[in-house]
Amino acid sequence: MKAILALEDGTIFEGIGFGVNGNVIGEIVFNTGMTGYQEVLTDPSYCGQIVTMTYPLIGNYGVNEEDTESKRPQVKGFIVRELCKMPSNWRSMEGLNGYLTKNNIIGIEGIDTRALTRILRDKGTMKGIISTDPEFTYAKYEKEIQAYEIKNPVNEVTTDKIDVYTSKKGSKRRIALLDLGLKQNIVRSLVKRGCEVYVFPANSSADEILECKPDGIMLSNGPGDPKDCVKPIETIKELIGKKPIFGICLGHQLTALASGANTEKLKYGHRGCNHPVKDIEKDLTYITSQNHGYTIVESSLDKNRMVVSHKNMNDNTVEGIRYLDAPLFTVQFHPEASPGPMDTAYLFDEFIEMVDGNVTINIKN
């Protein structure tokens, strides 16, 4: 069926619909990864967004049950240049079209995704609509598009109860993980390193988190404007200094806000698994996986307490902070990857070393 992609500035693309029919409005963003579309679709950090894949062929290795980062797709819509109709991979369980249909997601293919990406790079991230309405006109949906906003998406994607994950080989330490929209590979990365992981809802209090007697605390990735997360910011402020802390992506931003720094929206964000980031202390540049639309304002950092540890080599934005007055460090990128290179997984090892230097209890299995 014919489908339309319309941007808030009135730009129209005509293509072919896949997944389900209907209309969906969201924030249009682009991802530069060549692979990893299943991880992208299920990444809670994309809540409220319609994702454009810049690589021209998507769906060629199908979909399986093992590569998901959450229980269901989190994107509002999906845009590709060409949808592969006949996937070929020994792990494939179904095609991408069937997967999106089953999960009630609207997609569009057959448009010039390079042209769309250039528009978003030049003008910045925009709101838009994918529609299979045979009588579509921009005027018909203009007010809805203009009125759309992503507000408090963390509340949509966080867990509603405390979940516990343990290692089959036994757990040597307990980690409390604040779920702001976590990717499941954060849990896997901790469990693999001998951790028992308690996952807490985003609006949990500091007392509730500390009640499980954790040896360390992780702050996950997540969607939306970090300044909307009023309750988590207050919780993090209370947790700083109580236990070793490691924050990723949104957790990185909220920790900075809790420490008096500021954040701002990027023109079109960083999304993909090929972004170069320099570890300043090691004087090494790594290729990283990224998914964020906001950044920490470097000039707002308290230099007596906060040191920039990582820098983005494309635009020089802050990608990591180490705190001088507490066992605490955070990064903007995703060391758990999925998809993306595993170059920065060493940060989980550094966190474990920091935790082990501060362990107060041992878990008996």
- The answer to whether the Cα torsion of 115, 57, 27, 332 is positive or negative is negative
* Active-site annotation holds for 156: no
Q: Would strands 328-331 and 245-248 be described as parallel, antiparallel, or unpaired?
A: parallel
For the beta carbon of residue 83, count every other beta carbon within 10 angstroms.
21
* Active-site annotation holds for 334: yes
pLDDT at residue number 363: 37
Give dist(CA 156, CA 19) in Å, integer: 22
Q: Which domains does the chain have, with CATH numbers?
A: 2-147 (3.50.30.20), 154-356 (3.40.50.880)
Give dist(CA 32, CA 189) in Å, integer: 24
- Interhelix angle for 250-258 vs 230-239, to 10°? 70
For the beta carbon of residue 356, count every other beta carbon within 10 angstroms.
14
CB under 8 A, 24+ apart: contacts of 163-170: 163/198, 163/199, 164/196, 164/197, 164/198, 164/199, 165/190, 165/191, 165/196, 165/197, 165/199, 166/191, 166/196, 166/197, 166/365, 167/191, 167/192, 167/194, 167/195, 167/196, 169/194, 170/194, 170/365
Give bridge partners of residue 63 from the DSSP assignment: 94
pLDDT at residue number 32: 95
The residues, ordered by sequence, that sit 6+ positions from 147 with a Cβ below 8 Å of its Cβ are none
Specify the amino acid at residue 179: D
Question: What's the token pair of residue 63?
Answer: 């979909």
pLDDT at residue number 359: 53
pLDDT at residue number 346: 95
Pick out the chain residues at pLDDT < 70. 359-365
What residue has token string 């994918």? Answer: 130
pLDDT at residue number 169: 79
pLDDT at residue number 171: 85
* Active-site annotation holds for 353: no
Task: Give the active site residue among 69, 109, 319, 336.
Answer: 336
CB 16 within 8 A of CB 2: yes
pLDDT at residue number 361: 40
Task: Give the active site residue among 249, 252, 273, 292.
Answer: 249
Q: What is the full DSSP assignment across 163-223? A: EEE--TT--SEEEEEE-SS--HHHHHHHHHTTEEEEEE-TT--HHHHHTT--SEEEE----
